[in-house]
Structure formats: structure tokens, C-alpha cells
Structure 1
């Protein structure tokens, strides 16, 4: 790539301005507008809008409020125009009937353990825990796993502010999967929900994430919706303009006994199923597959892939996975260009690291993997192409991906390099883990 092209990408990146975040709840012909969690009230300018209908998330859009205009009026008009009427409602009889049909008694939910792994981020953790304590789920516990701590900051926070509601445990071996496995050991719930220390959970998050488990023992895992908590920096806006972590607003169940016709790589396209910041497993199922591979995840040479590994292992065991878009958390995206570079490389590495982990731990899947390999390589290439901005002004109504900024070629190249490194990183992580465990046992 020429120096001129690199400089052009940098200028484009630096020109990306901040975007406000807001929520709009459409209730019949009326609407309620409020800022996103931690955001100031909406004024004029560009707005990332979550549209709800009677509290339920139904879509997102990117809109602009002209100076001097009423934000609620402008954004409500955009919501009704861009998102399918049957999803947002227009105050007509059919919409009201649908709303009434979906209402009713609160769903039954299993006793649940919420596991949050953290390392030296007490400020962010406090916001996450505050949102956990505001959940409407009637019966749950919170377990914080302090991963390889170097200070007592996290322990002090829990003891000072949350001791009555939060259990604190430590895991000296670094790595997100190791920390999650420690949380699984400590958990008492029938269902174990996982989220990150940099999220703010919607008050109904845990109820919506765990209610599907009551349908039957065939369901092993549920994932939910992840939206941005802030879009203040170019890095945050760029990531979200290309989809972020969101998987849409349509609930879906993946059944290994009835593979989806539109997923030719199933079950190896684990990134389609959800993300580790918003997932829950039936405890018996997760323990039956051995938990997460401890040589995957952030904090290890593998860089990531622990959540994807868990999804595929559960599906390979014959259990279903359900995506529940009503289970919402707001995630604090990375803030700088350097963060994006690290993230792009880590995503690529985590993708191939988790595939390596699956085949090492479940070699019986190798024939199915090899059969899908040619299409998988094409899919990997498509994931890492330089994606341009939409130039014709067209958008799919209710779509999350309002691709308003081009995706830099450097980030695509870093992701491809990460993919090449992933298997090596996984093997290095296994060696490092064995050494760490041996050192701990010798003490």
C-alpha cells in the first residue's frame, strides 16, 4: 500500500466525528426519548438510536437532528419511516393486538449465577455491577473473578461497596477462559451468565437471557444483543458503523439436529452466534464439555476465541443455541486507533485459535471441518476485505449496519495476519498454561 493511501486512510479516520446515543420508546402514537446510559440529553447532530416498542428493542438507526429541531419529533419520524411498521407499531389495532399478545405474566427464570471476569479495571467494573444490581431477575448471584491481580483495587471495591451481593474469587493464572472456568467452579446457579466488566446491562437483560432455558433441556446456550455505550471517538464510531458486536433484532435458534440452510459453515461460523460479553450456558452442559479451553481468550498468546470455542462445543454436543435480541447490554468499545489495531489482530488470531482448540479437543470434528474448509477460506477472505462506505444512500430498514465510514485496509491486513498466527498462538498458550500450572503446584 502506498504512503499516500495510508495517509488518506488516516485523514478519513481522524475526520470521523462523535455520535450521540439515545433510546426512543414508541408506545402507540406516542414516544419517549432518553439518552443512552451515561450519555447527556440529545441535541442537534448525528444520533445512534435504539428504537424500542413498549420497552422491547426492535431496531437501530443512524439519524441526524437539524439545529433548532425537536429531537424527539425528528427521531420518532425516522424510526417509523425506516424500521418496519409491524415492528415499531403505529397505534393501529393490529399493532396493539400484537403488543397485547406479547404481554402477560413475567416469564419463569432459573436460579442464575452471573460471572464477571476482571483485571485492574475497578472503575468500569463498578458501573457493570451497579447495572447487575438493578436487574429485575428474581433469583441470581454475582461472582467476580479477579484474574491475576497485581493490586488489591478490585478486592477493595467489592469489600467496600458490594460485599453483601457479590462473591469475590481470584484466579492467579492469567487468561479470560481460565478466569471464566474459575467462575464456573464457584457458580451455584442452574444457569451461568457471563458478561464483561466494561458493559452496562439493561434492567431486563438477565431475565431475557435466562428465560429461554425453561423451554427444555435441549437448549445449552443463549446469547444476546450488544450495542455501543459510547460513540465519542473515531475508533468507536468506525467499529460500530461496520456492525460492532450486534447480531440483529430477530430471535433465532440454532439446532445441530436441523442445521440452518443459510449457514453452510455451521457450526464453525461461531461468530454469528453471539459474543462473550453477553452469553449464558446451562451449567450442566458447560461442565459436560469441560468448560472453556483455558489456552484461549484474552490474556493468553491465543488472543481470543474462548467464547466461540464454548458455542461450538455446546452445539457439537447436540445442544441448541438461541439468540435472544431482547437481552441487551451496552458495551464500551475500544477508544483509540491503536486499540483497533490490537482488536483486529486479536479477532483474527482468536478465530483460528478457537478452531485449532476445537479440533485438538474434539478430533472427531475434523472430517466435518475439512469438508467445509474451501468455503471457510472464502468466508475468511470476505471477512477481511477492505470495506468501503455505502455511497448510494440506501439502507435496509431497521438494519444495524449503517456503513457510513470505509474500513481501513490496515485493519483488514492485521486481521489476516492474526488468522495466520492463531494456531501458533494457541499452541504457545497451551505450553504457557502447562508451565503456569506446574509452577503453581510446585509452590
Structure 2
């Protein structure tokens, strides 16, 4: 399935197709759009408003065919006019954790260095490297443009904490070595910190860069990493009525491939729990813990779809199995981390247990679907295999023990920004 971006002047059904199409672009690095199935990000004057799938007939103009489909499928509306920020976006540091990822890191760095943000730096944290490939890539291709930091202890949260210690920005943005950032990503992700001083964290939209294998299609068919196309602010002073498990369903807030924090807020919250995350027995949950910790400290979290990155989903079915298990393990590992590091939250968490169990069963249930391809996020065009549901639940059972093992391994590890060396 092809991936494309369609930018329209509006979604008015009465508009003529030609003048209303501002641009049709392939997904990042992809070939020009041709006849066949296409997964489309629909924009209105540059702003993301939804996704759809459509078939471009043989001989048809792809832009006109997709524009007609978008106007028939999407609710007619115009994108809100972008309001100029009261002040320029703050000085921002982008932290990219990587481990033996030099083969894919270059495309990520190229997209980061093309950002329209006026004042930022890029820091690559090389986590427990086995070779010098990442260091050599930065020295040869990005001298004086990307800072290299080495973290010898394995674990994504530990790498991120090293990045927190090394970064110089007022805002700390995090992404992965398998994404391509939209040129406006960093500005959109950092501007909310200027608009609202109570915001401690901002997350953004994640869409697939490729849909070329069954595993990629299956993941995106059931929502992928996207959290929708409506901006939302989560305020601990006003818990959302439609989130009865707030703030423990942190997976709804965003994902680690597209997140930013006010630097002082993240450091005051203790950073990322080093016993969570990829590369540890906990398997994940480092981003979820940070979201919940910032909210527990009274700060707001904002989700904005204007901050977009394109993610290269894993290609193989075994990778998807590992992801399913890791999602389950990371979820309960992060909840365990909250109880261990913030015991005052335990009574609130216990009160949520009955609803939480029901939520976990629903989240990991076998989900039927047709034989179609992914459409709107969460539409479930493909059935979610029972084997993956079982793996998620097995991961949930293993998460607390994995966290305990990981915590034992990092016992006594100081926060790097509190050490004299980093100061």
C-alpha cells in the first residue's frame, strides 16, 4: 500500500477538485503516487485533519481521485487558522537515543536538521554501543551539527536521562532513530510551552512512513501509534470525564517517539525511570512513566496533531510479536514503577483496579475485522490475531517482575544531571 499526503484548500464538497488541491506528495522517501491502494494523510492548508484509504483507478489523476474521496469521506470543515505565537518557540534540545542504528539514523538526522524551528540543537545518545558506527557517522557526516554522547549502560530510559543531562534547551524533545520528522514538527511540539506556562509535556502525531508488509499493515489497521487528530489538554486539576482511569492510562497521551518536556519539570520529576524502557527486562513503559509523573506533579499535558513524525514500523511478524509482548510488559512495569517511586498514588491506583482490569481485557482482546486495509485509525480493517492478544496479556503478567529485575540491575545508578561531572 502506498503512503501519501494530500493537502487541500478545504473539504467543501462543492469545491472543484483542481483548484482545491494544494499538493499531493508521497510519504517521506516514497515514489510518486500512482494507481492502486493508498493510505492518505489529509491536510487542510497544511494542518493534519485525518487519514483515509482509497483506490486510485488506472488512468485517473491521483490528486483529483484522492481529493474527491477525501471530500466524500471526511466531514466538511476548514482547518483553523494558525495563530502566531506570543513569542518565538523556546530554545529546544532534540534527544535521539540509538543503539547500533547508524543504518537508519541518517534519515532521521537529515529530517531533524531541516526543521523550521529558529533555535535548537540535536543530541544523539549512543546507548551501550558495540561498534563505532554511530560515532563515525556523526563525525564524518554531521560534524559540528549534531552532538554525540555515549551512555555505556544499556536501556532507553538510561539513554534518555543521559540526554537530559547533556541537553542545553529549555524544552527537551525526544524522538527515535526510525522516524522522519515533518519540517514543522519541532516548532509545533515546542510552541505550546510558550502558550501555557502550566504545560509540562507535549506529545504529537505518529503516522506510518511505509505500509509494505503484513506486519506494518496489521499494526496500523489497529491504530498504530496515532492518538487522533483533535488537540487535547490533560489537566490533573480537572480530570477528564471520559477517562475514568486518568492518569493511569498514559498510553492514550502519546508515545515516546514524539514527546517533549519542559526541562526543569522533567528533571524535578526525576527524569525517566532507569528500570523501564527498551533494553531492560521491563521491555518498555519509560515514556508512560514520564507522562504520569509530570501529571502527578500537577502539570498539564497537551497532545497536538500538528507535531507530526513518520515512523518506520517494524517489517516482520516476529517483530510485531515482540512489540505485542513488550507493550503488555511495559504497561504493568510502568504502573509498578509509579507505585514504587510514588507510593502516594497507590490508594488511587487500587481504586482503579476493577475498571483497570476490564480496560486491560478490552485492550488485549481479539479484534475481528474484514480483509481490508487500514482506514481510519483504530478501524480494525484486519483482525487482530488471538496469538498477539495472548502475548500482550503474558507481557502484562511479566511486567512487574521485569521491572523488579531491572531495578535491581540499576540500583545505585545516579541521575546523570545530579553528578558533578555533568554539572
If the length of structure 1 is used for normalisation, what is the TM-score? 0.89
Alpha carbons of 1:436 and 1:267: their partners in 2 closer, same or farther (altered >3 Å)?
closer
Q: Name which of structure 1's ranges 30-39 and 406-415 shifts more when overlaid on structure 2.
A: 30-39
Q: Does 1:69 align with 2:60?
A: yes
Gaps of at least 5 residues in structure 1 are 1-18, 89-97, 438-443
Aligned runs of 1:231-310 on 2, under 5 Å? Answer: 231-310=211-290
Contact 2:370 2:381 in 1 (8 A): yes
Pairing partner for 2:100 from 115, 120, 126? 120
Which of 407, 411, 419 is the matching residue for 2:388?
411
Offset of residue 383 of structure 1:
0.5
Contact map agreement 1:52 1:59 (CA 8 A) in 2: yes
Aligned residues: 405
Checking the alignment, whether the CA contact within 8 Å between 2:87 and 2:194 is kept in structure 1 is no
C-alpha distance in structure 1 between counterparts of 2:209 and 2:158, whole Å: 27
1:358 aligned partner: 338
1:174-209 C-alpha deviation (Å, 9 max, x unpaired): 000000000000010000000000000000000000
Deviation track 1:154-182 (CA, whole Å, cap 9, x = no partner) reads: 00000001121111000000000000000
Quick check: 1:236–1:333 contact (8 Å CA) kept in 2? Answer: yes
What corresponds to 1:25 in structure 2? Answer: 7
After superposition, the Cα gap between the structure-2 partners of 1:410 and 1:151, relative to the gap in structure 1 and judged at 3 Å, is same
- Please report how far the alpha carbon of residue 81 of structure 1 lies from its aligned counterpart in structure 2 after TM superposition: 1.2
In 1, the alpha carbon distance for the partners of 2:110 and 2:48 equals 21
Instruction: List aligned pairs for 1:201-212, cutoff 5 A.
Output: 201-212=181-192
Q: Alpha-carbon deviations, 1:328-347, whole Å to 9, x = none?
A: 00000011010011000000
Q: Which has the higher helix share?
A: 1
In structure 1, distance between residues paired with 2:365 and 2:211: 24
Matched with 1:9 is none
Name which of 213, 217, 236 aligns with 2:197: 217
| Matching of residues 181-196 of structure 1 within 5 Å | 181-196=161-176
SS of alignment partner, residue 266 of structure 1: coil
Match of 2:148 among 148, 164, 168: 168
RMSD: 1.8
Q: Can you give the 5+ residue segments of structure 2 that lack an aligned partner in the other structure?
A: 11-18, 415-423
Residue matched to 1:37: 28
Post-superposition Cα deviations, 1:404-432, rounded to whole Å, max 9, x if no partner, equal 11110000000000000000000011112
Aligned to 1:422: 399
| Distance of aligned partners of 1:181 and 1:56 in 2 relative to their CA distance in 1, 3 Å threshold | same
> Which residue pairs with 2:13 in the alignment?
none
